[in-house]
């Protein structure tokens, strides 16, 4: 049966949204903290990470029910990272997903606590999930902690902040992005392959695919920053002047960044083929990530 990607994205997004709200309501008490958690969870977002996790698990023959806790836990960590990233001490942003950021809608302390609570809730729901056995729970929490903490996203964010206002070489930029955005995206793929009982060889190929996917996502994000912002504020497309952080288009030019991204698309597609799974949908997802417009 052929699945149309847009239908798949819509269906899974709805499922994830419902489940996320259900988890937050079930595990927290009504009040200001719960309101702030729900505010950011209900603000939307593409739900790319949980969708990639579910699609990978399904490609390996796993049932969706088995993926829901870890898929939602992953999205909770992503949401917490955005809440904290928007804070005055970090990017100091007023809007996210078209709405006032958490610290603008509530206050700084509440935004910090809502982020903290989403981070810890992610492990709690995985530990309590009856679809998973103990071995699966331990593996998933260990890998998710590695991907999001001091050897993953948080370390990437630290390095990114230290590199602000500096011209850094491409290699360093890639190292930052492999951690800051790549590790969570890669987790989505390896968790899915794990839940689908992938063999060691297939798992390794999927890990390669996940690593390439993280870079594809980031390069396209940088490209959209240039083309999107330029259109919004009337700058000539192709200029990211004023950005305090190094980006792929800054270091390679817009065309160079696109070429670099295409080489990662090829890498991801061939790793996926080598893994020998039912790959049509995942292949379309790689294409979608490299051509997305928001």
Q: Which of 74, 83, 98, 92 is nearest to 40 (CA)?
A: 83
Smallest gap from residue 199 Cβ to ligand GRG (A): 30
Question: Closer to ligand GRG at the Cβ: 159 or 274?
Answer: 159
Minimum separation from the CB atom of position 81 to ligand GRG (A): 4
Nearer to ligand GRG, 84 or 103 (CB): 84
In the complex, least distance from residue 194 CB atom to ligand GRG, rounded to whole angstroms:
22
3-state secondary structure the chain: CCCCHHHHHHHHHHHHHHHHHHHHHHHCCCCHHHHHHHHHHCCCCCCHHHHHHHHHHHHCCCCHHHCHHHHHHHHHHHHHHHHHHCCCCCCCCCEECCEECHHHHCCHHHHHHHHHHHHHHHHHHHHHCCCCCHHHHHHHHHHHHHHHCCCCHHHHHHHHHHCCCCCCCHHHHHHHHHHHHHHHHHHHHHHHHHHCCCCHHHHHHHHHHHHHHHHHHHHHHHHHHHHHHHHHHCCCCCCCCCCCCCCHHHHHHHHHHHHHHHHHHHHHHHHHHHHCCCCHHHHHHHHHHHHCCC
Nearer to ligand GRG by Cβ, of 28 and 159: the residue is 159
Closest chain position to ligand GRG (CB): 45
User: Which residues of the chain form contacts with ligand GRG (CB under 6 A)?
Assistant: 45-46, 48, 78, 81-82, 84-85, 90, 97, 153-154, 157, 180-181, 221
**For ligand GRG, the closer CB: 183 or 205:** 183
C-beta of 160 vs 205, nearer to ligand GRG:
160
State the nearest-atom distance from the C-beta of 159 to ligand GRG, in Å. Answer: 11
- The residue among 67 and 148 lying less far from ligand GRG, judged by its C-beta, is 148
Least Å from the CB of residue 179 to ligand GRG:
9
- To the nearest whole angstrom, how small is the minimum distance from the Cβ of residue 153 to ligand GRG? 5
């Amino acid at each position: 049966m052929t699945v149309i990607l847009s239908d798949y994205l819509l269906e899974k997004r709805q499922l994830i949204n419902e489940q996320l709200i259900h988890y937050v309501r079930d595990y927290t008490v009504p009040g200001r903290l719960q309101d702030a958690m729900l505010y950011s969870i209900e603000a939307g977002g593409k739900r790319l990470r949980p969708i990639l996790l579910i699609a990978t698990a399904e490609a390996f023959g796993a049932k969706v029910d088995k993926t829901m806790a870890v898929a939602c836990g992953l999205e909770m960590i992503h949401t917490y990272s955005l809440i904290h990233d928007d804070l005055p001490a970090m990017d100091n942003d007023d809007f996210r997903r078209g709405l006032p950021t958490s610290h603008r809608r509530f206050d700084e302390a509440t935004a910090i606590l809502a982020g903290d609570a989403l981070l810890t809730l992610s492990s709690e729901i995985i530990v309590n999930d009856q679809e998973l056995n103990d071995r699966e729970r331990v593996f998933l929490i260990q890998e998710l902690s590695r991907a999001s903490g001091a050897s993953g996203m948080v370390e990437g964010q630290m390095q990114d902040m230290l590199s602000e206002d500096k011209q850094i070489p491409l290699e360093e930029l890639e190292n930052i992005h492999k951690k800051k955005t790549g590790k969570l995206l890669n987790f989505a793929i390896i968790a899915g392959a794990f839940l689908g009982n992938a063999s060691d060889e297939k798992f390794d190929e999927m890990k390669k695919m996940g690593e390439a996917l993280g870079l594809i996502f980031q390069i396209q994000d940088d490209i959209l920053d240039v083309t999107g912002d330029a259109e919004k504020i009337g700058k000539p497309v192709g200029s990211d002047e004023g950005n305090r952080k190094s980006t792929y288009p800054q270091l390679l030019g817009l065309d160079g960044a696109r070429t670099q991204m295409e080489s990662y698309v090829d890498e991801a597609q061939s790793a996926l083929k080598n893994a020998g799974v039912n790959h049509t949908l995942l292949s379309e997802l790689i294409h979608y990530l490299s051509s997305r417009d928001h």
